[in-house]
Structure 1
């Protein structure tokens, strides 16, 4: 009987490690999707930076309260954060409430994250809206990264380290985003575009 109990403990421990391992990957992907540092997430969640780091490295089994605080800071439900990718259905639906939205500093640009969270480290895609005069200024991504901006309506201008190009509805701009880059709505009407960022894809001649 004692042996069975010890075996059960081992199974529970293994299960906890599996959950924590998936949780750590999920927390890290979400944090990077929001462009948050460990310090940023710690400040927003109230969870110590060292604890978040341990969770991401699968070195600790967090309490439900900790998971709840991290989920709130990342704007996701606890259920979605805890869900294991191994058991996830092939068809996944995200509601409007589940879809993260980033807003530019001037409040005039909105970047809706519609890409898959699992690919955020190498492929990101967004639905981009900008009011007239709106400007989205971005720091350089990793070396070799390329961004593709397909304009659906309005007129957008891209400035990459001083090189400027403009696109209207039906046109696409592709540019290096491993240097500081800015997207501006230079038209008189709201602009809408689809944006894809390939973080590790491009090798330029």
Structure 2
């Protein structure tokens, strides 16, 4: 693994660490709401029972892939995801240095994960930035998923299944992301945008 690859792994691990603080309580609450035993959740998610137990006790820092597998297995409704443990006011802060960041393969695009771990299986949002010439290539998300990209600086191009559209600051692009798609910075200066990905949207025929 090259230096760039190791850096990406470190970024992913940092992201998992930042997200895991509240993950244990959330996983345990949702598992019990579904009446899943540790063994049943392990079978559903493909995550080892011992790992799930450690996550629930906040004794381990799971990878983003593990978090994703658990969220897919729990597959809860919006109401249940957002259900509070009690009626106390809720207010939390994630500092800039704690915000997980993902880097594109070419090293020129960055995704700051500002979404909430409790909504990761149906709603994700990011701050996207790209250097000139940068491209973020993404595999297809699950069927019915839609992505919204609101450009705040520069000019970006989105390609989905051979269809290409460009947008400048102030414009918003929305597109199916349940097929391979690419975001490119086609200008000669940095570009940035707010990206929102809605998973499990009604299938678009």
* Counterpart in the other structure of 2:85: 86
Q: Which has the larger radius of gyration?
A: 1
Number of equivalences: 149
Structure 2 counterpart of 1:200: 200
**TM-score between both structures, scaled by the size of structure 1:** 0.63
1:20 deviates by 9.8
Note if contact 2:144-2:200 (Cα within 8 Å) is conserved in structure 1.
yes
Q: CA deviation at 1:138?
A: 0.6
Residue pair 1:146, 1:178 contacting (<8 A) in 2 also: yes
Q: What per-residue deviation string (whole Å, max 9, x for no partner) do you get for residues 137-169 of structure 1?
A: 111101000000000010100011211111111
Provide the residue aligned with 2:145 in structure 1.
145
For the Cα contact (< 8 Å) 1:140–1:181, is it kept in 2?
A: yes
Structure 1's consecutive aligned runs of 4 or more residues displaced over 4 angstroms after TM superposition are: 53-56
- Residue equivalent to 2:74: none
Which residues of structure 1 form unaligned runs of 5+?
1-18, 29-37, 39-47, 75-84
What is the root-mean-square deviation in Å for CA atoms of aligned residues? 3.0
Q: How does 1:18-167 map to 2 (within 5 A)?
A: 22=25, 24=27, 49=48, 51-53=50-52, 67=59, 69-70=60-61, 86=85, 89-167=89-167
Contact 1:24 1:55 in 2 (8 A): no
Whole-angstrom CA distance in 1 between matches of 2:28 and 2:180: 28
Alpha carbons of structure 1 residues 25 and 160: separation in structure 2 relative to 1, 3 Å: farther
Give the 3-state SS of the residue equivalent to 1:86 in structure 2.
Answer: coil
TM-score (norm. length: structure 2): 0.63
